[in-house]
Structure 1
């Protein structure tokens, strides 16, 4: 397989879509990785497997409608394998395995049947001290945009997933690209103030547009840099509540086609006004785990 990913929006040809089959029982509160899951565990509203399976199959159906080659992870018993974006990412023709939370290592093994189709020299792993997850990494033409957390208290945040060592490692790996990092707001307790990954507060869409949540960025100048990159008129600003509901975590099949959650009324209207076809799916149950459509997909080939 010849990988090719240079951006977030070119026509998608091949993708790994996660699976909600056999996700296991509801985690204990102390085992949850993010504040939104904790919120739903406490409230008794944590999502049920059968509802999440239906939501993911709706996405699979849309991808198949657009003739995208869809790979699925090998099913592991009682393991949550929904969020494939966390476990790896592709830049150019390189497949980079994430240095992920240690007890999620099995998830990478479950896509070995995909990895085996890639030339061995193109399958990479960053140095052990470089923590990284795919939700923080966005190829964007000459840039690689990376979410991180630069605070000295990095180790105190289970929600801080990508560190500056990873940013530096990416720059070494792709010397022809400009790697730009963004210091994201983190919270272990309040999901409305937690940008778990860059795609939880920002995402390019269409030819030259972007969705952004200002409050996800700790440094205003970094937020402004992104707005200037796209131009103010091309940026759709989402609210704190829309960020909490994961409005920036939609997924592009092409510059003129996106998959979005059906309840994102304001966003979906704006997307259509930009001439973009919006394929609406139900995804509100999966959103309870602080991830949405981009989180569930690992693109391998775009035109």
Structure 2
């Protein structure tokens, strides 16, 4: 039996689902791309290969196991992208919430059925179909739950808008004792440098009281400012548009003092080390071409 437990982004990790890059099939066509960054690489002929992505994910598994984390992997579905396990579900407190994701990706949840079978039924939640939510937009932060959303009336026109206000309300109803704080994110179907696909593409808490943030990912200045005030300006690492594009905010915490980060994030990794955080560097630049990185490809089940 597995009782899920996650109350924040950085507490010591015990058990996690890590996606898989095996049997991805051919590179998608432009019409099949879900985000502007993948489209860029499909057009340029630089879309990542399965071999490179399997190598990158193996490096992450080794780091997790080195730190005594139990790692589950999805069942491999032939010719199917299963890298970004964060999209398909997430844990808040002792509840595993199945995400309502893009219909084309529904089979990804079936591939972790062997994990879900370990969790008692009363600990699994599935919202109604019109409640759109993906794990990259949801961050438990102790008494808070931070949620990325898009509040524009043109929400249905954005394939990059993945979490709606119905999800914000449903999560607040499910956790009445938590303070749910939503953030209106900048969306673009065509320009990856002006698109925060999920909240973790422009913000993430790290350590005990610090955060990584990109101002332009937020549509409302006061919501960005709220985060700066909450964490304190001296505790916030501001990333540039280029760093956001390269997914610098999408690292992954194993503990308050241990993170996994991409080896090319020179400026960020130096800052993290200056905060007394051990940085486990891995190659992940190929996976980043699909507008996701380390947080996107991990689904924490238990943190201490």
CA distance in 2, matches of 1:128, 1:180: 22
Alignment match, 1:288 = 289
| Aligned 1:89-104 pairs, distance under 5 A | 89-104=90-105
Q: CA-atom RMSD, angstroms?
A: 0.4
CA distance in 2, matches of 1:258, 1:212: 16
Alignment match, 2:166 = 165
Shift of 1:129: 1.0
Alignment match, 2:185 = 184
Shift of 1:207: 0.6
Alignment match, 2:26 = 25
Shift of 1:28: 0.4
Alignment match, 2:15 = 14
Alignment match, 2:200 = 199
| Aligned 1:130-169 pairs, distance under 5 A | 130-169=131-170
List 4+ stretches of structure 1 deviating above 4 A. Answer: none
CA distance in 2, matches of 1:205, 1:181: 19
- 2:215 is aligned with 1:240: no
SS, match of residue 20 in structure 2: coil
CA distance in 2, matches of 1:158, 1:206: 32
Q: For each residue in 1:108-142, what CA deviation from the matched residue of structure 2 results, as whole angstroms up to 9, or x when unmatched? A: 00000000000101111112111000000000000
SS, match of residue 15 in structure 1: strand
CA distance in 1, matches of 2:272, 2:79: 37
Q: When the two structures are aligned, how many residues end up with a matched partner?
A: 303
SS, match of residue 25 in structure 1: coil
Shift of 1:70: 0.1
- 2:269 is aligned with 1:268: yes
SS, match of residue 181 in structure 1: strand
Contact 2:3 2:123 in 1 (8 A): no
Alignment match, 2:226 = 225
SS, match of residue 248 in structure 1: coil
| Aligned 1:54-65 pairs, distance under 5 A | 54-65=55-66
CA distance in 2, matches of 1:170, 1:9: 21
Task: With the length of structure 2 as denominator, give the TM-score of the two structures.
Answer: 0.99
Task: With the length of structure 1 as denominator, give the TM-score of the two structures.
Answer: 1.00
Shift of 1:94: 0.2
SS, match of residue 284 in structure 1: coil
Alignment match, 1:299 = 300
CA distance in 2, matches of 1:242, 1:126: 34
Gap regions ≥5 residues in structure 1 = none
Q: For each residue in 1:191-242, what CA deviation from the matched residue of structure 2 results, as whole angstroms up to 9, or x when unmatched? A: 0000000000000000100000000000000000011110000000000000
Contact 2:25 2:79 in 1 (8 A): yes
CA distance in 1, matches of 2:206, 2:220: 23
Alignment match, 1:5 = 6
SS, match of residue 254 in structure 2: strand
CA distance in 1, matches of 2:3, 2:98: 17
